[in-house]
Amino acid sequence: YTVTVDASATGPEISDNMYGVFFEDINRAADGGLYAELVQNRSFEYDRVDNAAYTPLTGWAPHSGDPRVVDDEGRLNERNRRYLSLALPAGVINAGYNSGIRVERGKRYDFSVWARTDQPSTPLSVGLTDPAGTALADPLRLTVRGAAWTRYTGSFLARTSSITGRLLVRGEGTGTLALDMVSLFPRDTFRNRPNGMRRDLAEKVAALRPGFLRFPGGCLVNTGSHYGYEAPNWERRRSYQWKDTIGPVEQRATNANFWGYNQSYGLGYYEYFQFAEDIGAMPLPVVPALVTGCGENRATDDEALLNRHIQDTLDLVEFANGPVDSTWGAKRAQMGHPEPFGLTHLGVGNEENLPDEFFARFTRFRAAIEERYPEITVISNSGPDDAGATFDRLWQLNRDADVEMVDEHYYNSPTWFLQNNERYDAYDRSGPKVFLGEYASQDNRFRNALAEAAYMTGLERNADVVRLASYAPLLANEDYVQWRPDMIWFNNRAVWGSASYEVQKLFMTNVGDHVVPSESTDTPSTLEPITGAVGLSTWGTAAAYDDVRVTSAQGETLFADDFSGTAENWTPTEGRGSWAVTDGRYVQSDTVAENTMVTAGDPTWRDYDLSVKATKLSG
Ligand code: AHR
């Protein structure tokens, strides 16, 4: 290949915040990830609705006595509905995430709990131990007094390091002790902020020097019901609504997370804005448009609800930018940030499958925001895929309405990324700008990173059209994976970047001022081997497959399965659906909305084009 560079010419300007990060609470990116809380299920709100395997005591084991979780009038507050009741003497142990609570010798850990007792006073002992019960720090001795909920605090100085730490909380004496919001934070958080971020993970993200931080999702944003967490229904599975996530942590709602676990909202909108500011990134929140996506296709027709969400979105702008004497600006100031956060871009909706229904509602949000805040860029989207009728229809609607910016998402093979380098050369220069909000080539190998790097040169060449771009998803806890590939991987003790992370870092830390026009005699179009696994995926309903056959373009059968045996060649790689061979068919055994994929094991890396045929029997 010969590349010719015209150094005397000047191409489009590249904005400083062109490359950013997409944060979604997927793969336990928040609780058990970036949010530094070490106790899992600190408020006993885990529920079957979040995950069929959960009970309100998930994460906890009895130490002594008969610990019970109750949901009655004695609760801490209306939004934190359950609490732990201990008939004394009794105690519980929390095992944190991954292999346990990580404790580093010489560091401080801040404990807090809300408690009340039916005795004049009740001794409470709190220990940081290894799994065998050996102390990692001197235990805390607290005294709970009186029948009113009160917050008690203490701190541990770790004497021994451990990655399998346990938190033991034990009430002594007689009577009944009630506990809620049992919390343990490392004092050493990112920027030493209370209720803060895990330092090593936050630093890994900060090292990218991202131009923007998109949050909080993804499918997380708009799936579920759009009603709030309120009486009389206390809706458990609802879309991500920012007002649920601010204020004192013990008063924040918790929610079922689309990705199959519980989200505490300890990492909420205030913390996202603060984090964006801390790492020098433009904040870019995305709010639900009242049309679900990601396998759930429902549009809300409740006018009052739609108006409430539109008002919530206006309130969000006020929360971010309003003066301290405005209603929502005052709440921001109360939480510790009187200065505005400087919100300039806001996404409405994510991957809706119903283009006209979405666009009708998007238009209402857009009109209301632009009328009140004309300086805000309101971002629309182009549906779940970069091909097909929904994408075409949404682009047409966005173009016709002169929308400023459109969010595109795609996950494709490395070969696709090489072959589509010129995708944006053909985009209309006078149409909406592109926010490439999610993309990745489908694996975490070196060749994926290489293909992404090549593709990013095409984004950059078109910096007049592609204004913002973020690889997705950002984070994955290796023990709780719903989606791969991911940019940054971690467990309770280590953080490591993928090859794609290094590519993103290279581009983000070397953003140019403008494009220097160049030409190449040719471009590589394939990176072999290109595939080695076969996936069957389904959204939403139970599915059954039979007779899967993978054939090369040369006619050779590379893999075949009629499911007359066991499921040994298949590994579920995503989602929480369970798969099994039943009656000679491969079936997903539950009906939970989910992106579940199975992959043939023992892939052979071959230089072939493949065709996959499967009989889909249902779902
Ligand atoms: O990035 C993972 C998921 O991919 C996002 O939640 C969704 O928007 C897309 O389908």
Ligand 1 binding pocket (C-beta < 6 A) is 24, 26, 217-219, 350-351, 409, 438, 472-473, 483
Question: Which residue's CA is minimally distant from atom 2 of ligand 1?
Answer: 473
Q: How far is CA 550 from CA 96, 376, 441, 532, in A?
A: 43, 49, 21, 10
Q: Which atom of ligand 1 is nearest to the CA of 595?
A: 10
Mean pLDDT is lowest, of 201-215, 217-231, 341-355, for 217-231
pLDDT exceeds cutoff 50 at 84: yes
Q: What is the mean pLDDT of residues 130-145?
A: 98
Q: What is the pLDDT of residue 459?
A: 97
What are 517's two structure tokens? Answer: 């026009």
221 C-alpha vs ligand 1 centroid, how far in Å? 10
Q: Is 257 helix (H, G, I), strand (E, B) or coil?
A: strand
Question: Which residue's CA is minimally distant from atom 3 of ligand 1?
Answer: 218
Confidence class for position 57, pLDDT limits 50, 70, 90? very high
Q: Outline where DSSP puts E strands in 442-576.
A: 466-471, 475-477, 488-490, 495-497, 518-520, 535-538, 544-552, 557-561, 570-574
The pick from 21, 350, 482 for probing ligand 1's pocket by mutation, whose C-beta has the most ligand atoms within 8 angstroms, reads: 350
Domains of the chain, by residue range, sit at: 19-31+190-520, 60-186, 535-618
| 138-162 core/surface letters (b: 16 or more CB in 10 A; e: else) | eebebebeeeebeebeeebebebeb
293 C-alpha vs ligand 1 centroid, how far in Å? 10
Nearest Cα neighbor of 308 from 233, 401, 243 is 243
Distance CA 304, CA 544 (A): 40
User: Is-contact 424 465, C-beta < 8 A?
Assistant: yes
Q: What is the mean pLDDT of residues 533-552?
A: 66
Q: What is the pLDDT of residue 83?
A: 98
Q: Tell me, which fold does domain 19-31+190-520 have in CATH? A: TIM Barrel (3.20.20)
Q: Which atom of ligand 1 is nearest to the CA of 438?
A: 1
Contacts of 449 (CB under 8 A, 6+ apart): 498, 499, 500, 502, 503
Question: Which residue's CA is minimally distant from atom 4 of ligand 1?
Answer: 218
Percent of the chain with pLDDT over 90: 76
Distance CA 443, CA 312 (A): 38
Give tens-digit pLDDT for 90-118: 999 999 999 999 999 999 999 999 999 99
Q: How far is CA 376 from CA 19, 308, 370, 372, 486, in A?
A: 19, 20, 7, 9, 30
219 C-alpha vs ligand 1 centroid, how far in Å? 5
Residue with the bigger pLDDT between 428 and 534: it is: 428
Give tens-digit pLDDT for 293-307: 888 889 999 999 999
User: Is-contact 536 548, C-beta < 8 A?
Assistant: yes
Give tens-digit pLDDT for 463-499: 999 999 999 999 999 999 999 999 999 999 999 999 9
Give tens-digit pLDDT for 314-334: 999 999 999 999 999 999 999
Question: Which residue's CA is minimally distant from atom 9 of ligand 1?
Answer: 218
Q: What is the pLDDT of residue 602?
A: 38
Q: Which of 37, 45, 318, 351 is catalytic?
A: 351
Nearest Cα neighbor of 126 from 177, 162, 54 is 177
Q: What angle do CA 341, 342, 347 make, to 5 degrees?
A: 100
258 C-alpha vs ligand 1 centroid, how far in Å? 11
Question: Which residue's CA is minimally distant from atom 7 of ligand 1?
Answer: 218
Give tens-digit pLDDT for 178-203: 999 999 999 999 999 999 999 999 99
What are 340's two structure tokens? Answer: 């505005």
Q: Tell me, which fold does domain 60-186 have in CATH? A: Jelly Rolls (2.60.120)
Reported pTM: 0.87
Helix 355-372 and helix 389-400: axis angle, to 10°?
30
Query: Locate tokens 């290489």: which residue?
Result: 450
Answer yes or no: 375 catalytic.
no
What are 95's two structure tokens? Answer: 């095992």
Distance CA 43, CA 66 (A): 18
Nearest Cα neighbor of 493 from 38, 157, 93, 156 is 38
